[in-house]
Structure 1
Amino acid sequence: MTERNPRLIGRVLTAFALTASLSAVASGTDVAAAGAGVCALGEGELTIGDLPAGSSVVLCNAVGRVVTYDGTGVTVPEPGMAVSIDMLTTDGESHGFTLEVGDDGRVSYNLDDANPDSSTAGYDRPDPLANTVDPAVDVPEQDAVADPSDPSDGAEVADTDALRAPGACSDGAYKTADLKEYGTYNWYIGDDGMPGGLSRTNAKWAIYDAIDNITDSYNNCGYGDSVGAKANFLSETGREASISKTGRCTGNDGVSVWDAGNIKDSAVATTCSYSWPMPGVKNDLREADVRFNTYDYDFTNKPTSSCLNKYDIRSVATHEAGHVFGLSHVGDGHENLTMFTDSFLCTTKARTLGKGDVLGLRSIY
């Protein structure tokens, strides 16, 4: 017999009770008396205007529908879940937002990287869906080893600052999201092709190195590692990141996957994060998927002097790992920080954190 998920059953019962309660109110002659949440949605993708803050995903039958904003989109989760999308784009602008559904089914949005819950004194909630990948493709946990060399010829380019902004070690700017990994971020390499033509094994080590840049707060500024974030690679998997070719977050399955493929053409990479809302403290990360856009852009694991029109895999991956662990974008004037909204061609500088990146992580962990 299939084991029942007590949390899921509880949510179903809560949603049923909410539907019955609100339906009873709405059945009167004055529908407006039912308050916010009574709605009828049209076909196709929705905007935040179609499903405004305060709407009920139960009455609106909105769970599973796509809501768009600022060129991005997320699939509405079940009550008691939040979803965030962050795009690393080529226009230097920040693109992304968070849609949160309370336990009562009501929608709220975070559209501008504001952080309503700044406290980090929360806790890690057990995930009943963790490690659901087919055991046939799982392998034992492994320790990190040296990243194999990229076959590209020539010496790797030096890590240099852009001249139009403060140096990485003198720029203390940062933004944080309403998100924290209170436990250990367990991740997988997915089933799609890998950036830069890397094998899945070599891609694993490149991404492993990038995630370590965040969890170990790797920098050249003299800051020691006082960040308590933790991550663990589990295995390769037949799963794919839950991100569509139009750059939409398509839903959570409890498995955090890194892969590559076709996403929105202005995005170099996209991260979709799912979390449990925790009022008063930062939301608890449950899952974070990352996809590189190999349909529109080229990547390399070793930019050299002959590099042309290629993005550095580990620079992009370090930026995306920053989103996984709760960092948001910084904009114009902060081009030398890892979390700058754009990624630069043929440079490795985003692999190394700047002052603001480190301070942002320290503010969370």
Structure 2
Amino acid sequence: MEGDLTVYDLSPTLNINSCDIVGRVVTYDSTGVSVPESGTAVSVDAITEDGTTHGFTLEVAADGKVSYDLTENNTDPTTAGSDRTDVLANPTITTPDQTQESETSDADATDAAGTEVADADAATSAGACSDGAYATADRKEYGTYEWYIGDGGMPGGLSQSDAKWAFWDAIDNITESYNNCGYTDQVGAASNYRGPTSFEADINSSSQCTSRDGVSTWDAGNLAGGHVAVTCSWTWPMLGVKNDLREADVRYNTTDFDFTNSPTSSCSNKYDIRSVGTHEAGHLFGMGHVGSGHENLTMYTNSFRCSTKARTLGKGDILGLRSIY
């Protein structure tokens, strides 16, 4: 069915007892999702230029009931974490996930060193290692996140190979709990790079999650104005526990913003590829946003220009991941 179902100013959860809108687009607060097949949930998360949060979750139950969860968009924990499990509580589905043939990959590489920009902490924000705030979504990778890199242009003008290492490092920052706070890695999240793909991230120029193709792709392109990057995650609803991640795509907005893989003292008006990537990887592994007052955490709503601090997790980021894994 063609056409858009545009939704504004909803209560935190809206239930529609109809399966007729599957495949149509639901939009909210400058993001959107294509209504998925029954037994599937889809979430959109956008990191923005101005630090405001944009995104929501939609589930379609096996009986066709469509549920919107908009509360994620307003979560702003202060001193304690907020763990959200099984918010919509739809039943699970066991249809096999589409994949591509495995491709060999090299071991992780060390990035070329660059002089990082020294970032001044926001005056009103706690230090990364003392701020325990976090928020989590109803989402978890129970196995291994299998991901691919797209075959188009990359952020920062990187080659596909260099972009692969930048994305890989960003994902590893999450799965290996990379931090300077003395926390050991107790997070069981895992990922595996599968190679290049001709598939694109299932995200359009309006920051809407389109129908999924079964391939988790990282790429770059056009997004809605003000959106630096967007993550779309598809899950199977699990009763009583967090939803099971089936696919997650990430797209950088290279139409409206400039990126660099190595911010130096001469950096001007560019976003750090790995800082943005670490934030987006946090979303796909189940982390939500934290807002004002938590600027030093990776999951803060904005990845500051010419800053690399989001590459390194803070206390709240670590505690949030531990609460999931």
Question: Which one is further off, 194-203 or 138-147?
Answer: 138-147
Pairing 1:98–2:49 present: no
SS at match of 1:205: helix
- 2:15 aligned partner: 54
Alignment: residue pair count: 311
Q: Which amino acid aligns with 2:150?
A: G
Contact 2:33 2:44 in 1 (8 A): yes
Contact 1:176 1:327 in 2 (8 A): yes
* CA shift in 2, pair 1:126/1:201, >3 Å: farther
1:117 is aligned, of 85, 89, 94, to 85
- 1:14 aligned partner: none
Measured in 2, the distance between the counterparts of 1:313 and 1:127 equals 34
Contact 1:191 1:238 in 2 (8 A): yes
Contact 2:14 2:69 in 1 (8 A): no
* CA shift in 2, pair 1:268/1:49, >3 Å: closer
Contact 1:161 1:168 in 2 (8 A): no
- 1:140 aligned partner: 104
Pairing 1:335–2:295 present: yes
- 1:301 aligned partner: 261
Q: Which amino acid aligns with 1:299?
A: F
- Off by >4 Å, runs of 4+ in structure 1: 124-127
Q: How large is the RMSD of aligned CA atoms in angstroms?
A: 2.3
Query: How far 1:110 sits from its partner (Å)?
Result: 1.3
Query: How far 1:103 sits from its partner (Å)?
Result: 1.0
Deviations 1:85-126 (A, max 9, x none): 00000121111000011111101121012765269xxxx987
Q: Which amino acid aligns with 2:214?
A: G
Identity of aligned residues (%): 61
Contact 2:84 2:136 in 1 (8 A): no
Structure (1 or 2) with the greater strand fraction: 2
- 2:99 aligned partner: 131
Deviations 1:56-108 (A, max 9, x none): 342xx211100011111000001100000000001211110000111111011
SS at match of 1:92: coil
Pairing 1:75–2:75 present: no
Contact 2:4 2:26 in 1 (8 A): no
SS at match of 1:333: coil
What are the within-5 Å matches in structure 2 for residues 1-365 of structure 1? 43-47=3-7, 53-58=14-19, 61-113=20-72, 117=85, 128-132=96-100, 135=101, 139-147=103-111, 149=112, 155-158=115-118, 161-365=121-325
Measured in 1, the distance between the counterparts of 2:170 and 2:254 equals 18
Structure (1 or 2) with the greater helix fraction: 1
Q: Which has the higher contact order (CA 8 A, sep 6+)?
A: 2
SS at match of 1:204: helix
Query: How far 1:55 sits from its partner (Å)?
Result: 1.5
SS at match of 1:145: coil
* CA shift in 2, pair 1:223/1:125, >3 Å: farther
**5+ unaligned residues in a row in structure 2: which ranges?**
76-82
Measured in 1, the distance between the counterparts of 2:293 and 2:239 equals 33
Q: Which amino acid aligns with 2:251?
A: R
Contact 1:48 1:67 in 2 (8 A): no
Query: How far 1:342 sits from its partner (Å)?
Result: 0.9
